[in-house]
Structure 1
Amino acid sequence: MTTNPPRIRTPRPVAGEHGPRESQAPRPSETGDAVSHGAGAAARISLGRVFKAESANYFLLLGTTLFLVVFGLVMVLSSSSVDSYLENAGFFGGILRQGVFALVGIPLMLVVSRFPLKFWQRIAWPALIGSCFLQCLVIFTPLGIEVAGNTNWLSIGGVQFQPSELIKMALVIWLGMILSLKRDRLDDWRHVLIPVFGVGGGAVMLVMIGGDLGTVMIMAGILFGALFFAGVKLRMLALPLVIGGVGALVVALSSSNRLTRIMSFLGTGCDEISGTISAACWQPLHGTWALANGGVFGVGLGNSKAKWSWLPAADNDYIFAIIGEELGLIGAIVVLCMFILLAFAFIRVMRSTGNLQVRVSTATVMVWVIGQALVNIGVVLGVFPVLGVPLPLISAGGTALLSTLIAIGIVLSFTRGSRPGVDSGQRADTGAAAR
């Protein structure tokens, strides 16, 4: 019986020991596909990091803001078309100007939202000093321009803007920084009232000299709002509040223009039945008639009658009257609900952080935007006399839109990197205190 000798198998080379097998060698096309796939994945990862939001508060605040901006562009187009045509700018002159500021402001808001908390701490003092310097140019140099009795505009190189809006943004940053530094001494009035009303109040006085009482009231609300949400005791705010109220009354009565507005608010010269309507009563009355003409469902978008040179500032201070006329009570309620939602987003950001600077700065932006919206709507409804403040994010006005978007971008920057119970700003604040 014969046996066959065992077959000796030659071991094949294993990849990595003596080099890769020929069948496993990558072809040029496969290498290119792998490289392109890797590059595509890296690009997707990079874009994902850019647009990644750290919390739902970011989306809530951003989405509400974008809705109001888009809604405002639609209403500016409708309310400004007639006046733009009469100014030889065409029917789309107003919306083109406002659209340019929106196209600049929205990306700028997103860029600002990427800045860390330390950046706002460093820029607080330079921003406040620089904005006050520009306001000094308004009131102490020929560069200041008077509009409707208020010297609040600065013209440099043919470009007109309001430095008071820059002061608002600077106060948002500065108040958050200074009160966070004083967080252990908030019970001592010398460490709270002196810097806030000494420095911040001085900035407000610069705007007061220009005569813009409406803006001064909003800025005063920013100061008191910062102190309230910082946890300062109410009894410390009582005396400054009384002094500020008396000062505002004296300033209001010292100007014939403002006094005329107050008298028209009280009904003097507004007898529409006899046909004797003064110039100061013209705007409030036609704003009320526009709201009444809208009813519940409105006359339809673009069908306003008041915008045909009957209602002054139809695309600015009285745009809410056009909203009520064209979209009716339903449209007006939608606008109110969106500002309530915006306030809810600010409150969520404040509740989600343990950092005092973040809380105070967010509160000041909320007081600014929501307070100004309520004042504007109150003026249109006849609750307040005419103060000349626009409806935030909706009214026409480039400087106001840009400043509001940047302020909201500051709050958006606070929502990035935050986690429940672990706040990045709080960690930075704790580290600075330890040092």
Structure 2
Amino acid sequence: MRLAVLGLSLSSSWGNGHATTYRALLRAFAARGHQVLFLERDVPWYAEHRDLAEPDFCDLAFYRDLSGLDRFRPDLAAADAVVVGSYVPEGVAVGGRVCAWARGVRAFYDIDTPVTLAKLAAGDHEYVAPDLIRAYDLYLSFTGGPTLALLESRYGAPAARALYCSVDPQAYPALARETRFDLSYLGTYSPDRQPTLERLLIEPARRAPHLRFAVAGPQYPSAIDWPDNVARIEHVPPAEHPAFYAGSRYTLNVTRADMIRAGYSPSVRLFEAAACGTPILTDRWEGLDTVLAPGTEILPADSADDVLATLEGMPDADRLRIAAAARTRVLAAHTAAHRAAELEAHLLAAAGRHRAADARNNDAGSLLGDKGGDTVLDLSGTRR
């Protein structure tokens, strides 16, 4: 299969979780014998922080603006499937070109589904619009559960399928390292995550000055009052994630507000930390138990008291047992190899529907039947 992906970033993990998600998924997809082209908007903030400029599992190319996509039109037309990701700059215009040019399956991969739905409800069409959702053959969603039915019933997605994030076990091994922190958090600053971080890490740090904490990630405001026992690390590149997790007795998973409301939205950091064998404290959200079992594979916490009770009261044997159980679960069901197989199945099923639709709609004006010419997708859902 020839797959083309237009995503937020593959080359830089700075300030985004998309890069590690794409890297794990596409490496595993290529390992199944497929060819992958990744097209990335060339923007200065990622250009200054590239940590994977030449991937060995796919072709990576950059375009400066919408007109720069024109030179890739033959590649998009020849691909068996083209995937556009969430938060791609000018994503609606990019998606319109993909739907007009691609002859194979046209898919949208939403690594931010609850945020996307909140934007759509507010009339914000930053990177996808309702008419474009209907034009894609396949909507791959970071979020599972009831959200999939919502995407189909309210927004007309022809096929909404869950494609959770995952982890590459080779890139995220369990390491033996000296403990540096009692509790760590790895994530870019987000205003809607900050209250939970305050409650479940910063407040415990204030109340337990004898314990050591760390918050790693960029873009945190300078006005935040960090306790003296909280180490601030501006950025940890993916290659150093395993050592960071290995140096933590526990790590914290914090979920964005939109994703808590939607449920069924496990973050990539959750899978990575579990693969590294680090026990995870987490906020609560619906569907958590479908990914990791609360109490035996992951530790939900609602308050600073909960966090401190775990940090100061849980025996090491129980801590290590929970970490081992989570690692076993993730390696059995949530690796990049699992996701690549799911992606392949979803694309093949969409291709089958695509061919059936083409057979039913042979007239030149059909959205699925007309694949040639210089047509441009009109976001009313027709071609002109």
| TM-score bin (small chain) | under 0.3
Q: Looking at CA atoms only, which structure, 1 or 2, has the larger radius of gyration?
A: 1
TM-score (norm 2): 0.24
Q: Which has the higher contact order (CA 8 A, sep 6+)?
A: 1
When normalised by structure 1's length, the TM-score is: 0.22
Which structure dedicates a bigger proportion of its chain to helix? Answer: 1
Q: Which of the pair is proportionally richer in strand?
A: 2
